Structure 1
Amino acid sequence: MDVFILIGSFMLLLMFRVPIALSLILSSLVTGIYLGIDLAALVQRMVGGLNSFSLLAIPFFVLAGEIMNEGGISRRLINLSNVLIGKIRGGLAMVNVLASTFFGGISGSAIADTSSVGSVLIPMMKKQGYDSDYAVSVTISSSAQGVMIPPSHNMIIYSTAAGGVSVGALFMGGLLPGLLLGLGLMILTYMIAVKRNYPKGEVVKREEIPRIVWEGLLGLFTAVIIIGGIVSGFFTATESAAIGTLYAFIITFFVYRDIPFTRMGVILKRTFNTLSMVLFLIAASSSFGWLLALLKVPSMVSNSLISISPNDIVTILLIVVILLMLGMIMDMAPLILIATPILLPVAMNVGMDPVHFGVLMILCLSIGLVTPPVGTVLFVGSAIGRISIEKVSKAMIPFYIAMIIVLLIVAFVPAFVLLLPEIFGQ
């Protein structure tokens, strides 16, 4: 009955469109009252959930992404990508994927990627003769891929929810899957472009190439500072994020100089809005997760999944299916916080490393971002492309297939995820 009250009240509140963070808190309070728990203990759990040094990296990552996005980094990354692969047939679609790969290494946000890169490339692709549903599909699928490319604040959220898994190991673990997904999407876009006879990209003037490459690499060096500092052990994740933010500030306002310094107020406001949501979710999920552990929900779920089949492969497939289904109806950050305490013990029981499971989870949930009915990136891309979600969802079918193939590789080839963390000693 107590588990039913906790889960049932949470789902009921969601059905009435109560914000997720408030739903977590209210369901925890109702369950706490039913169990006779001192409510001060729940508040202490909420505060304790935020008392983590690694969480300090999130504000810096978000701020760095906002600064670079506002300062025109997306346009420069698009230009850099165009220099590299724009001359191929369907080159503008491949530029879209490569630009999202680059941008993911700076912002770590699929929505920010779709908004910035998509607002430039979707109209450009439509103007050059690409179908609208194809342009949007390429944009949103590649934006979801960008979530895997480090640095990613979602991996920091998972690290916290999983009890302190190495952020550096998660960053390195997500790199190869992210690049593989990007490569797979580029191959797919080229095949479709050849089949539909989409145009080749415009040739960049030779005298402009050095400037384009230089400006693009300056922006990408933000990610190099963050990832390199963590992998080398010279900085913690928080210190690397802070230094990367300082570098982004200098490049944007003193090198690019596309925007006045007065825009910093707008950037800070957007950063605070994002952080308020993220940190409120973390606090709310801490009390909810504590009650889940208290009521032994993880062990119940583990026993239930194992009872379906003792085969490890079947159990992993069930985990993947559960995460994909949850990703269709809920956003990534709250799902990481809610599902990790439940499914991580199950995954570890079948021999999965916490880093492997974390990368697998984030990949599953990134697919959920572009899947109806509640895929936030799908909605943003459809709005930018001015096309219905139904048409985009139909056009996304080959992209879903490519993403699922990469997902299965990640799920059943652990070495593909764990290779780089082992090489760099994370």
Structure 2
Amino acid sequence: MTDPFTVSILLIAFLAFGGLSMGLAMICGSSVYLIMRGFDPSIASETLLQGLFNSYTLLAIPLFILAADIMNIGSLADRLLRFSQALVGRFKGGLGHVNVVSSLIFSGMSGSAVADAVGMGKIIINMMTKDGKYTKSYAAAITAASATIGPIIPPSIPMVLYALVSDQSVGYLFAAGIMPGLLMGVAMMTMNMIIAHRRGFDVDEAIPLRDMPGVTFRAIPALLLPVILLGGIYGGVMTPTEAAAVAAFYALAISVVLYRSVTAGQFFETLLASARSTATVGILIAGALTFQYVVTRENVPDQLAAFLAQYDLGPVGFLLALNVLFLVLGCILESGAILLIIVPIFIPTAQALGIDLVHFGVVCVVNAMLGLITPPYGLLLFIVSSITKQPLGKIVRDLLPFLFALFVALGIITFVPDFVLWLPRLLGYKG
């Protein structure tokens, strides 16, 4: 007799590679499993509703998406980019540094790599290629690579997804992402400087120091957003979900009232775009919650733990194997699917090996983000290729040095947990 779980997996793979969204594919595969097992198919709906109703934190996702979309249509991105240019634009490979720094700053508001690449990315790519100082493929490569930093530094939609499946504190996960995000930024800027010297990139026109106070002043309202968010969360004033609501309201308020850069028509279009993005994420979460029931029924986590125990990997070997697996999966699966489907299977094993789950979450999220730029799938690669009209092959060639730098950073993040957990412990984390 055909095994229902095998049929479910094959059906999900067939539907997903056939063009159906991963969320819907998982719902279909899970429903077929329930029918073949003789269970009531309504269990899928019940599991989904219980998962959603018990996860107040999930409300943060559509609110962070809305905040990012509002920042993209307002002038916040322009002001932040100008501020970044004033900070690091005067150095060798200046606009490359600006690209990375702007991602670091913008990430403190949107929590989305795609939002960073589509919004800030378009602007900086145009700046880099305008006078022919940088090739389009190089501008696309560094833009895609720097966008992966966004969801590591808080606020972070992937961290919220990990909190959903691991039952860990969103606040501590946010704190744990700060040092790794900064490390990734430094690694990329170092590689950009090396490439700038090798290729003889011109030093970009610097913003005069006398203009710094004015540039900074105009950027202050935008720069205050991450301060308000993180201060509110770690000060105990707001939950992460409430902070997401504040982020959306604050972005709208300063864009409409202070900067007067958003019209009613633009805001309506932004609401529609945010709703579409939220629906996409929502379907993925729905499918993952349903499929998790199937995985639990089949006792997959315990079977996996028993299988790995045969090889006596230990924490270091387990994390190394996991990094390799996630980077391979990143070639074919989107980051949300990895975090919601694959990661929960490994959480019991990580706990059994004594791996801190906040540290484990950061490792998983970093891997999932690097999957966004891992050929051949790499969603961010397709986005920047579409923006620049450059062949994927040329972009990948220019991306490889940045991938190497990010892999070095990933090694430190993976095997030096104290580096990741230093800030959460400073804020009271007992792990």
TM-score calculated relative to the size of structure 2: 0.95
Structure 1 residue 391, shift from structure 2 partner: 1.1
- Residue identity opposite 2:13 in structure 1: M
Q: 2:187 aligns with which of 159, 184, 204?
A: 184
Match in the other structure for 1:139 = 143
Give the SS at the match of 2:164.
helix
Query: What letter is aligned with 1:67?
Result: I
Query: What is the CA-CA distance between 1:132 and the residue it aligns to?
Result: 2.3
Structure-1 residue corresponding to 2:331: 328
Indicate the residue corresponding to 1:415 in structure 2.
418
Counterpart secondary structure, 1:106: helix
Kept in 2: contact 1:293–1:341 (CA 8 A) = no
**Distance of 1:151 and 1:170 partners within structure 2:** 10
Question: Which residue of structure 1 aligns with residue 300 of structure 2?
Answer: 297
How many Å separate the matches in 2 of 1:67 and 1:208?
Answer: 27
1:157 is matched with which residue? 161
Question: 1:202-241: per-residue Cα shift (whole Å, max 9, x none)?
Answer: 1224554333212222112112211111111121111111
What residue identity is the alignment partner of 2:244? A
2:84 equivalent in structure 1:
81
The C-alpha deviation readout for 1:148-186, integer Å capped at 9, x for no partner, is 110011111111111x21000110001100010001101
Structure 2 unaligned segments of length 5 or more: list them: none
Deviations 1:78-110 (A, max 9, x none): 100111111111111100100011111111111
Tell me the distance in 2 between the aligned counterparts of 1:260 and 1:205. Answer: 33
Q: Does residue 390 of structure 2 align to residue 387 of structure 1?
A: yes
In the other structure, the counterpart of 1:370 is: 373
**What is the aligned-residue identity percentage?**
35
2 CA distance for matches of 1:147 and 1:237? 15
Structure 1: where are the runs of 5+ without partners? Answer: none
Correspondence list, 1:52-201, <5 A: 52-128=55-131, 129-162=133-166, 164-201=167-204
Shift of 1:322: 1.1
**Partner of 2:373: helix, strand, or coil?**
coil
SS state at 2:177 partner: helix
User: 1:270 maps to what in 2?
Assistant: 273
CA deviation vs aligned residue, 1:257-292 (integer Å, no higher than 9, x gap):
122233211111111111111112112211100110
CA contact (8 A) 1:185 1:399 kept: yes
CA–CA separation in structure 2 for the residues paired with 1:63 and 1:124: 26
1:145 aligns to what SS in structure 2? coil
**TM-score, normalized by length of structure 1?**
0.96
In 2: Cα distance, 1:121 partner to 1:15 partner: 33
Counterparts of 2:403 and 2:281, CA distance in 1: 28
Aligned partners of 1:45 and 1:286 also within 8 Å = yes
Displacement after TM superposition at 1:310 (Å): 3.3
Q: Distance in 1 between matches of 2:297 and 2:217?
A: 55
Moved over 3 A (4+): 205-208, 308-311
Q: Does 1:24 align with 2:38?
A: no
Separation (CA, whole Å) in 1 of partners of 2:311 and 2:397: 33
Is the counterpart of residue 343 in structure 1 residue 357 in structure 2? no
Partner of 1:396: 399
TM-aligned CA deviation for residue 68 of structure 1 = 1.2
In 1, distance between residues paired with 2:209 and 2:4? 69
Tell me the residue number matched to 2:251.
248
Q: For the residues of structure 2 that align with 1:49 and 1:315, how far apart are their CA atoms?
A: 29
Looking at structure 1, the residues matched to 149 and 209 of structure 2 have their Cα atoms a distance apart, in angstroms, of 31
